[in-house]
């Protein structure tokens, strides 16, 4: 044994001058999602870093080219597994843009309500996980409880808790259940109450605020150049929301605000999501009021919508129609289309190329997460290593959507 | 709205625009590949266009056509609220010679999008600062979204890196993640690690 408390000039110890290479991930408790960050550290500061994604790549775009257009729905479900309904609706709308059909009013409101509930579950997860990674476990449990209620409602509506595959070209798989409006209102109210409680719990907490404020600042110009959309772009002060800028479904008739941040730091990204949760509540309220209780959910178009089961089993026309749609697939006109909706993390685009047969030629999903994660390097370079956790949490990377 | 934009580009670069169409309301310009960056820069810097966002960049494979790949980019202007799609056709029937200029110095988002496009289709972006695979691993052979890449193709196994001091380099050694290492029973007996307690 040798004494360890020798003065520095006598000891052999030398301070390391070379930068240290630190590898975090792909599976790390502080990373929600499989992503690997290789950092070059000088002390605790990140000098350079390399973000590596792709660990969840399942080749969806290749798989889409093997089936029919309707068989793409389960794949888009599994892209963003926190708000799959938004992906479903986005893809259905891309196909409908190609076919030139507009779904009935009742279906439009139904899609909006389910979509906004999915957005709520998305934001609840993101903010809850962000708080948890900073040591606040209670808000996480509360918010996940709220998310679980949303998923219970989804299960009642669609039959599946998480991956619903509920969208269809020209409508939805099933009409709303009888108690839908009542349940949706109750779930939404409960989630908003949770949000208020979480706000009271977190926003007076000095430790929580200090770890978020002025950390990971992204100016508006950078966010635009990085192709950021959604809450992350709005946190930088750019009021771009596809629902406002290019209203689809009935968003043009609904009153809601687009919250924006000031500086684009982690706290702004956190607060934009909190505020959007409340706006989701407003949208759901208005949609529930306006949604008709009766009326068709699917368009009256035998080219795309399956006939009722009674007809399939009792009439030859119904059987043929069913057979043609299921076996040959929908015939989308040849050409290309880019359709965009506001997903949980920003503009969710679908670039579809059809050759006129029943099989997609190319289904390109423009994943908002991919570009946002592409900006992670820019966000954490120059920060300290402990700041990686809130920065990464505030970007809300969804591995399935980023890697597809 | 963006019809005027297409006309603007056409008058500015009459020889670069090969064709235009507006299927399903999406205005599209098909460009000569060598004008790709020139037109993109024009779209970004001209006040009438002010395309400040590169929303998406990808490619589509048409193996029966020559040139084979279509590189497709979607632009959006936050200020004007209009969109435009640019396309360029590159690559011969074998998929070689698919080259196009990079847009990374115009939009930061082009960095990862072009890496993905190269990874999936093998389209080379000339001047890209860091053109390596992004969704696939470095040892992956081929480009999976090409139509002639079989969906059920089996990739060769990646050998362990044979470097000294391997435990310091990712990917880690052959025993990575195995709590007792990949030791056979015989090896451990040689080391005297396993004793049969019953005899003693």
In a mutational test of the A interface, the residue from B1, B22, B76, B107 whose CB has the highest number of chain A CBs within 10 Å is B76
Question: What ipTM describes this predicted complex?
Answer: 0.83
The CATH number linked to B77 is 3.30.460.80
Cβ(A356)–Cβ(A333) under 8 Å?
Answer: yes
The pLDDT of residue B177: 46
Q: Does A404 touch chain B (CB under 8 A)?
A: yes
Q: Are residues B40 and B129 in the same domain?
A: yes
Residue B101 lies in a domain: yes
DSSP A257: -
Q: Does A56 touch chain B (CB under 8 A)?
A: no
To which H or E segment does residue B189 belong?
Answer: helix B185-190
Q: Are residues B44 and B123 in the same domain?
A: yes
Residue B152 lies in a domain: no
Domain spanning A60-403: CATH superfamily? Cytochrome-c3 Hydrogenase, chain B (1.10.645.10)
Q: Are residues B190 and B106 in the same domain?
A: no
Residue B150 lies in a domain: no
User: How far does CA A273 lie from the centroid of its chain?
Assistant: 12
Distance CA A146, CA A124 (A): 8
Cβ(A369)–Cβ(B74) under 8 Å?
Answer: no
User: How far does CA B165 lie from the centroid of its chain?
Assistant: 33
Q: Are residues B114 and B185 in the same domain?
A: no
Q: A376 preceded by cis ω (within 30°)?
A: no
Adjacent-strand bridge partners of A43: none
Q: Which two tokens stand for residue A161?
A: 């808790």
Most distant CA atoms of chain B, gap in Å = 95
Domain that holds residue B82: 2-145
Minimal Cα–Cα distance from A42 to chain B, Å?
A: 18
pTM: 0.83
In chain B, the number of structural domains is 2
The pLDDT of residue A350: 92
Report pLDDT digits (tens) over B58-87: 999 988 888 889 999 999 988 888 888 889
Residue B92 lies in a domain: yes
The pLDDT of residue B200: 43
Q: Are residues B56 and B138 in the same domain?
A: yes
pLDDT along chain A (404 residues), means of 10: 60 63 76 79 84 86 87 88 88 90 90 91 90 87 91 90 87 87 91 91 88 88 90 90 88 89 89 92 91 87 84 89 86 89 89 88 90 88 87 85 84
Q: Does A119 touch chain B (CB under 8 A)?
A: no
Cβ(B131)–Cβ(B116) under 8 Å?
Answer: no
The pLDDT of residue A16: 59
Q: Are residues B111 and B79 in the same domain?
A: yes
The pLDDT of residue B180: 47
Contact state of B56 with A351 under an 8 Å Cβ cutoff = yes
Q: Are residues B129 and B70 in the same domain?
A: yes
Cβ(A93)–Cβ(A248) under 8 Å?
Answer: yes
Distance CA A267, CA A186 (A): 29
The pLDDT of residue A123: 92
Closest CA to B113 of A402, A65, A75, A337: A402
Q: Are residues B70 and B164 in the same domain?
A: no
Counting one residue from A and one from B, how many pairs have CB atoms under 8 Å apart?
99
> What is the sign, positive or negative, of the torsion defined by CA atoms of A153, A155, A159, A163?
positive
User: Cα angle at A295 between A294 and A297, to 5 degrees?
Assistant: 115
Give the domain ranges of chain A.
Answer: 60-403
Q: Does A200 touch chain B (CB under 8 A)?
A: no
Q: Which two tokens stand for residue A226?
A: 């990085």
| Segments in chain B below pLDDT 50 | 169-173, 176-188, 193-200
Phi first, then psi, for residue A165 (nearest 5°) are 45, 45
Residue B151 lies in a domain: no
The pLDDT of residue A82: 85
Distance CA A398, CA A344 (A): 10
Q: Are residues B27 and B123 in the same domain?
A: yes
Among A224, A226, A337, beta carbon nearest to B78:
A224
To which H or E segment does residue B190 belong?
Answer: helix B185-190
Residue B112 lies in a domain: yes
Residue B199 lies in a domain: no
Cβ(B86)–Cβ(B42) under 8 Å?
Answer: no
Contact state of A227 with B55 under an 8 Å Cβ cutoff = yes
Contact state of A335 with B23 under an 8 Å Cβ cutoff = yes
The pLDDT of residue B20: 81
């Amino acid at each position: 044994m040798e004494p360890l408390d020798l003065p520095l000039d006598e000891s052999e110890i030398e301070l390391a001058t070379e930068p240290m290479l630190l590898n975090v991930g792909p599976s790390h408790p502080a990373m929600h999602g499989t992503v690997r960050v290789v950092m070059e550290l000088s002390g605790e500061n990140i000098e350079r870093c390399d973000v590596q994604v792709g660990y969840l790549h399942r080749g969806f775009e290749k798989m889409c080219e093997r089936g029919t257009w309707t068989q793409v729905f389960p794949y888009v479900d599994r892209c963003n597994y926190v708000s799959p309904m938004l992906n479903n609706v986005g893809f259905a709308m891309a196909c409908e843009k190609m076919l030139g059909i507009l779904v009935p009013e009742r279906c439009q409101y139904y899609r909006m309500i389910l979509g906004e509930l999915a957005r709520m579950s998305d934001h609840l997860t993101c903010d809850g996980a962000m708080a948890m990674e900073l040591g606040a476990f209670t808000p996480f449990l509360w918010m996940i409880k709220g998310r679980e209620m949303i998923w219970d409602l989804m299960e009642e509506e669609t039959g599946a808790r998480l991956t619903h595959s509920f969208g269809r070209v020209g409508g939805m798989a099933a009409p709303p259940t009888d108690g839908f409006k009542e349940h949706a209102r109750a779930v939404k109210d409960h989630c908003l109450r949770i949000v208020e409680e979480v706000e009271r719990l977190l926003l007076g907490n000095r430790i929580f605020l200090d770890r978020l404020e002025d950390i990971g600042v992204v100016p508006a110009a950078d966010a635009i150049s990085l192709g950021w959309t959604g809450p992350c772009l709005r946190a930088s002060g750019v009021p771009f929301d596809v629902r406002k800028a290019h209203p689809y479904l009935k968003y043009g008739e609904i009153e809601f605000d687009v919250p924006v941040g000031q500086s684009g730091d982690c706290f702004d990204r956190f607060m934009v999501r909190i505020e959007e949760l409340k706006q989701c509540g407003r949208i759901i309220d208005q949609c529930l009021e306006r949604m008709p209780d009766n009326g068709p959910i699917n368009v009256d178009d035998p080219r795309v919508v399956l006939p009722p089961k009674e007809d399939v089993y009792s009439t030859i026309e119904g059987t043929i129609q069913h057979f043609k749609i299921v076996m040959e697939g929908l015939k989308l006109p040849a050409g290309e289309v880019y359709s965009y909706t506001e997903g949980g993390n920003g503009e969710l685009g679908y670039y579809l190329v059809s050759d006129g047969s029943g099989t997609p030629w190319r289904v390109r999903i423009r994943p908002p997460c991919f570009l946002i994660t592409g900006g992670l390097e820019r966000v954490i370079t120059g920060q300290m290593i402990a700041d990686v956790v809130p920065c990464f949490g505030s970007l809300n990377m969804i591995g399935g959507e980023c890697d597809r | 709205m963006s019809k005027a934009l297409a006309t603007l580009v056409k008058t500015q670069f009459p020889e670069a625009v090969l064709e235009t169409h507006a299927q399903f309301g999406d205005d599209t310009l098909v460009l000569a590949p060598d004008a790709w960056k020139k037109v993109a820069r024009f779209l970004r810097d001209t006040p009438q266009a002010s395309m400040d966002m590169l929303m998406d960049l990808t490619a589509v494979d048409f193996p029966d056509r020559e040139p084979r790949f279509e590189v497709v980019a979607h632009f959006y202007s936050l200020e004007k609220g209009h969109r435009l799609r640019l396309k360029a056709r590159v690559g011969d029937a074998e998929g070689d010679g698919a080259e196009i200029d990079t847009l990374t110095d115009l939009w930061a988002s082009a960095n990862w999008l072009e890496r993905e496009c190269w990874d999936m289709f093998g389209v080379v972006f000339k001047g890209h600062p860091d053109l390596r695979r992004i969704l696939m691993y470095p040892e992956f052979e081929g480009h999976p979204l090409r139509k002639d890449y079989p969906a059920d193709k089996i990739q060769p196994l990646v050998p362990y890196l044979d470097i000294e001091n391997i435990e310091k380099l990712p990917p880690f050694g052959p025993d990575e993640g195995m709590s007792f290492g990949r030791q056979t029973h015989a090896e451990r007996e040689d080391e005297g690690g396993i004793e049969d307690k019953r005899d003693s």
